[in-house]
Amino acid sequence: MRLEAQDLAIGYPGHLVGRGIALALEPGEVLCLLGPNGAGKTTLFRTLLGLQPPLGGAVLIDGVPLGDLAPAEIARRLAYVPQAHVTEFSYSVLDVVLMGRTARLKAFASPGAADERIALQKLSVLGIAELASHDYTKISGGQRQLALIARALAQEAPILVLDEPTASLDFGNQALVLARIRELAGEDFGIVLSTHDPDHALMVGTRVAVIADGGLRAIGPPAEVVTPAMLSAIYRTAVLVEETPSGHRVCVPAWESG
Q: Using CB under 8 A as the criterion, which residues of the chain lie in contact with another protein when the complex forms?
A: 12-13, 46, 49-51, 70-72, 74-76, 78-80, 82, 87-92, 95, 99-100, 102-103, 105, 107-111, 137, 151, 155
Q: Is the dihedral of CA 59, 146, 196, 51 positive or negative?
A: positive
110/237 with CB nearer another protein: 110
CB of 51 to another protein, least distance (A): 5
CB of 94 to another protein, least distance (A): 10
CB of 221 to another protein, least distance (A): 29
83/143 with CB nearer another protein: 83
97/201 with CB nearer another protein: 97
29/163 with CB nearer another protein: 163
CB of 10 to another protein, least distance (A): 15
8/48 with CB nearer another protein: 48
72/252 with CB nearer another protein: 72
3-state SS, the chain, equals CCEEEEEEEEEECCEEEEEEEEEEECCCCEEEEECCCCCCHHHHHHHHCCCCCCCEEEEEECCEEHHHCCHHHHHCCEEEECCCCCCCCCCEHHHHHHHHHHHHCCCCCCCCHHHHHHHHHHHHHCCCHHHCCCEHHHCCHHHHHHHHHHHHHHCCCCEEEEECCCCCCCHHHHHHHHHHHHHHHHCCCEEEEECCCHHHHHHHCCEEEEEECCEEEEEECHHHHCCHHHHHHHHCCCEEEEECCCCCEEEEECCCCC
CB of 246 to another protein, least distance (A): 38
Distance between CA atoms of 240 and 242, rounded to whole angstroms? 6
CB of 63 to another protein, least distance (A): 21
In this structure, the strands spanning 239-243 and 249-253 are antiparallel
CB of 80 to another protein, least distance (A): 4
28/82 with CB nearer another protein: 82
8: nearest Cα among 37, 49, 38, 62: 49
